[in-house]
Structure 1
């Protein structure tokens, strides 16, 4: 009977400790850290492909002016922005104030050859 009371008391103390604000804050912080790690791991291939595309663009279109470099950084921030750029300026042939003529054609060709534009099998 004494064992029952001791075990019950331990369970009650454990529940009270786990419900304390500090422990809740600690668990929340751990959960956020682990979630950030998983998000980082899941987006790693996309970030590597974007970095590869960015370096391909900068090497093939040398020399780029500072505003063009900023624009390349802006359009290679995500796969969606690359596809949006490609749809607007490569497929629809809209006028782009940052890249025109052969530079735009070369940029579109570089984007077409990137792994971001390949259809998944």
Structure 2
């Protein structure tokens, strides 16, 4: 009978401690850190492909002006931006103020041949 009271008291203390604001904050912080880490691991292949695409663009179209370099960073920020750029300026032949003429054609070809667009075709 005495063991029962000891175990019940331990459970009550544990519940009180776990419900304290500090412990809740600690668990929330751990959960956020773990979530960020899992997202980072899950998006690693896509980020590598995008970085590879950005490097390929910068090498093959060099020299790029600073505003063009910033624009390349914007369009290679995520795969949706790359697909949107390709659809708007390569497929629909819309006018792009940052890349014109042969540079735009080269950029479209680089993007079309990239693994980012190859994944889009499989989806």
Give the TM-score of the pair, scaled to structure 2.
0.96
Shift of residue 120 of structure 1?
Answer: 3.0
2:24 matched residue in structure 1? 24
Q: Which residue of 2 aligns with 1:33?
A: 33
Question: Cα deviations across residues 17-61 of structure 1 (Å, max 9, x unaligned)?
Answer: 001000000000000000000000011011000000000000000
Which secondary structure does the structure 2 equivalent of 1:117 belong to?
A: helix
Name the residue aligned to 2:3.
3
Aligned positions, number: 121
Partner of 2:47: 47
Task: Tell me the residue number matched to 2:81.
Answer: 81
RMSD, aligned CA: 0.9
Distance 1:41 1:120 in 2: 22
Q: Which residue of 1 aligns with 2:92?
A: 92
How far apart are residue 91 of structure 1 and its match?
Answer: 0.3
SS of alignment partner, residue 116 of structure 1: helix
Cα distance between partner residues in 1 of 2:62 and 2:12: 69
- Report Cα offsets for 1:75-115 as digits up to 9, x if no partner: 11010000000000000000101101100000000001100
> Where does residue 70 of structure 2 map in the other structure?
70
Q: Which residue of 1 aligns with 2:114?
A: 114
Give the Cα–Cα distance (whole angstroms) in 2 for the partners of residues 66 and 5 of structure 1.
72
Normalised by the length of structure 1, the TM-score is 0.98
Structure 2 unaligned segments of length 5 or more: list them. none
Unaligned runs of at least 5 residues, structure 1 = none
